[in-house]
Amino acid sequence: MKDGRHTAWMSAWLVPVAAVALLHLGFVLNRGVNVYDEGLAMYGAARVLDGEVPYRDFWTLYAPGQFYALAFLFRVFGPSLVVERAYGAALLLAIGALTFRLVRRAGAGRPAAWAAWCLVTVWLSSYRFYASPVLPALASCLLSWLAVLSFSAAGRMRSLVLAGAWSALALLFRQDLGGYAVIAAWLWLGLRARRSAWRPLGAHAAGVAAVLVPAAGWFALRVPVDAAFRDLVVFPLRVFPRVRALPYPALSLAGVGFYFPILVFAVGAASVFRGIRRGATAVRGTGFAALLPVLLWGVLSLLHVRVRSDEAHLLAPLVPAVVLFVLLVGRTGSSGCPHPVWRGALVIVAALTFLKPVTGQVMFLLSARERTGGYCLRVSRARGIRMPEGGALYDALARYVHARVPRGREIFVGNLRHDRIAINDVLLYFLSGRDSATHYLELHPGGATPGPVQERIVRELEEAEVPLIVLGPFDNTEPSLGGQSSGVRRLDRYLRERFRPEARFGTYEVWTRREF
């Protein structure tokens, strides 16, 4: 009866809590556009919907899962930002709910689970990386760890097979996050069973293979293996860290969020070590045993911010950090529990970390102008989305390109200079309904700055007889190799020789071919 009452209590609260969270996300998720990250997912999905294949037909360093998930939604509901934002809202709600469930599965009480849900939901509500593949990858990782803890409690091998399958699905959305989940699970299984680890490791590996092998085989039949390997492995590991690295934030109030997961994982590691020394069952069951797998997952997820150390990339390590945080703070009087001083330090740092997003969301909800102000985009694929600043000009730009370029003709969306690239406005391809003439629809430092790549872009633009180009102001000023000029101006010279300025929309310039 007790379990039945608990289930009824949860059901009674689930609907209103989800409704309030969804209403809040509805206010947040129709605000602004992310011309690069969101553009990559949206336009890549549109290309997939047209029958093209990543790595073969267009360059990208991301795993293919998000392109195909959005392409499926576009086929059912039509291609638009509203469809993508609804999909994103569902993922944000799922991540919060799965975090709640993971804390409960780890043996913590409802207050700890609700605390974790609140912290994660607050952070997610200020997340502006629309259409990011991190969201489905993170949801898949949470499902994987739920299955791992289920195996830890009951010893069922099918739970490990399911955990491996969810990890592989995460790999298909973000190769790094899925890889961290797989490695962490294998490390934990090795530590847990030691000499008898082969059977559980085999079960988990079978789940990984059941998802990954068919997907890899499908792509191997359509994409040259060397092209996929260069895009998915070589570039992220060798080039990306050199051209995208950001310095770690100073240890201050503004940068405390970056160090919150590090502190949590350090205290968690000390607690696990202390518990093992005192004879706690550190690798079996739930409760204390849940610290180790979550800790391994969290520590490896820190690699996600080793290059891009800004707040936007903190989500991946933040979720396991929140789970571990509530487990540690709630542990009192048991083997391996943190010293009260360390629990107090964790609470203080957590309060400082979440102060900014909480304050921002409160101010947003109190300001009617913030919620309803701005310009509502009229271009068909973004109708219903509001841009606080520059929305009218951006909307006019997308509609101008759509009207100016005949259907079936291709365009190029680049920058005012291409020797020092930050990003380019990939979203404009999607909103204008006009395709990129070049394989490099995404202009990335280290990807589109080398001489051979610029020669290829020039050749493709010339072969397509591109009638119109759009140049944006995205000059790279970051303190990395990407912020330094490559010295290659081949593409810039070609554009100035073959095109002339025709119109200006805010910071964007539209140029047309001289004989067009």
Residues of the chain with pLDDT under 70: 1-28, 194-195, 275-289, 331-337, 364-365, 367-373, 516
pLDDT at residue number 456:
97
pLDDT at residue number 40:
95
Which element (helix H / strand E) includes 178?
Answer: helix 175-193
Residue 171 in contact with residue 179, Cβ under 8 Å? yes
pLDDT at residue number 342:
81
* CB atoms closer than 10 angstroms to residue 120: 27
Residue 185 in contact with residue 202, Cβ under 8 Å? no
pLDDT at residue number 1:
41
pLDDT at residue number 102:
94
pLDDT at residue number 221:
94
Distance CA 460, CA 144 (A): 43
| Residues contacting residue 414 through CB under 8 Å, at least 6 positions apart | 424, 443, 469, 470, 471, 472, 491, 495
| Cα→Cα distances 152→145, 157, 400, Å | 10, 10, 59
Helix (H, G, I), strand (E, B) or coil at 249: coil
Identify the CA nearest to 21 among candidates 146, 121, 145, 110. 121
